[in-house]
Amino acid sequence: MEDAGSASSAGGGRTKMLTQEQISFFHENGFVRIPKVYSPEEIARMSDELDQLIQDWATTNMGWTGPWRQVYMSPDVEKRSMLTHLHDLHFYSEAWCRAVTHPRMAEAMADLLGPNVELHHTTLHCKPPETGMPFPMHQDSPFYQHEGFGYIDAIVHIDDATLENGCLKFLPGSHKQGHLPHITRLENGESCSPHLPTDKYRLQDAVPCPAEAGDVVAFSIYTVHGSEINRTDRWRRLVRVGYRDPLCRQIAGQSLGRAGVIVRGMRPVGALAPTLS
């Protein structure tokens, strides 16, 4: 795939960040890798501040719960498997505030969402070495359900992500179905992290999307995805940034009712009125 930086002219006088090929790939498959959104210097700064945030603010625990853990991990590994996570990094760090409002990121999102783009949330997922938690196949809509298709998650890669350290894997075209029911309860009625049945949606059937530090992988809130355990001796750090068309109304979940920063264009009259009133 071409570097996003080489994308060129656009209709309507705006220079697009993405090529038409990248935009079409996204609409067809539900995900796209956007190379080199951040420069090595920007990533170095984001990496340093991320390490500080991990020390000062992040939580490390077993991560997601559910019967899928026994499917993807041996009993011994399952006990030791961990995830380091933190929400809304841009509230804690200048480098991350700049990163989530970065013009190249905002332009790329506008190419996929339309002229107005609102930041919804950021979430760190850091897989520790050797047993960093795998993610079962799921959509992101159960975590912050919205109406319609105007919501994209953009994964900012701080480290190179490979099959070995647990890069994202996607089911191409799965976004077209919209929101799917997820398993959210165990047989005994206790709640667990939303995920799709592991016999129907298998991690091994999904297409890996390796990426380099500085790349962004964008995908629809409805694209079915997951990732495998980190088998390497190094951390795999990435940050998910959620963006939406301000007219895409949230129904439930993370940050419901919170207005986000407009990173491109303007908030149309009537969008999220209850939040701002």
Ligand X SMILES: O=C(O)CCC(=O)C(=O)O
Binding site for ligand X (CB under 6 A): 125, 135, 140, 166, 168, 225, 227, 238, 240
Tell me the closest approach of the beta carbon of residue 158 to ligand X, in angstroms. 12
Tell me how far, at minimum, the Cβ of 15 lies from ligand X, in Å. Answer: 29
* DSSP secondary structure letters along 8-77: ---GGGPPPSS-HHHHHHHHHHSEEEETTSS-HHHHHHHHHHHHHHHHHT-EEE--S-STHHHHHS-HHH
Tokens describing residue 52: 């500080």
Phi, psi of 80 (to 5 degrees): -95, -5
Token representation of residue 31: 């995900």
Q: Which is nearer to ligand X, 150 or 166 (CB)?
A: 166
Alpha-carbon distance 242 to 263, whole Å? 12
The residue to which tokens 């996204």 are assigned: 26
Kindly tell me which of 7 and 99 has the beta carbon lying closer to ligand X. Answer: 99
Q: 89 or 272: whose CB is closer to ligand X?
A: 89
Q: Nearest distance from residue 219's CB to ligand X, in Å?
A: 8
Alpha-carbon span 42 to 277, nearest angstrom: 36
Residue 136 Cβ vs ligand X, minimum distance, rounded to whole Å? 9
Could you write out the DSSP letters of every residue in 119-164?
A: EEEEEEEEE-TTTBPPEEEE-STTTS-BSSS-EEEEEEESS-B-TT
Amino acid at 30: G
Q: Which residue's CB is nearer to ligand X, number 102 or number 125?
A: 125
**At its nearest, how many Å lie between ligand X and the CB of residue 269?**
32
- Number of C-alpha atoms within 13 angstroms, CB side, residue 146? 25
Residue 146 or 225: the one with the smaller Cβ distance to ligand X is: 225
3-state secondary structure (DSSP) of residue 236: strand
- Looking at the Cβ atoms of 16 and 26, the one nearer to ligand X is 26
Q: How far is the CB of 240 from ligand X (least distance, A)?
A: 4
- Residue 120 Cβ vs ligand X, minimum distance, rounded to whole Å: 13
Rg (CA), the chain: 18
DSSP state of 96: H
User: Closer CB to ligand X, residue 160 or residue 265?
Assistant: 160
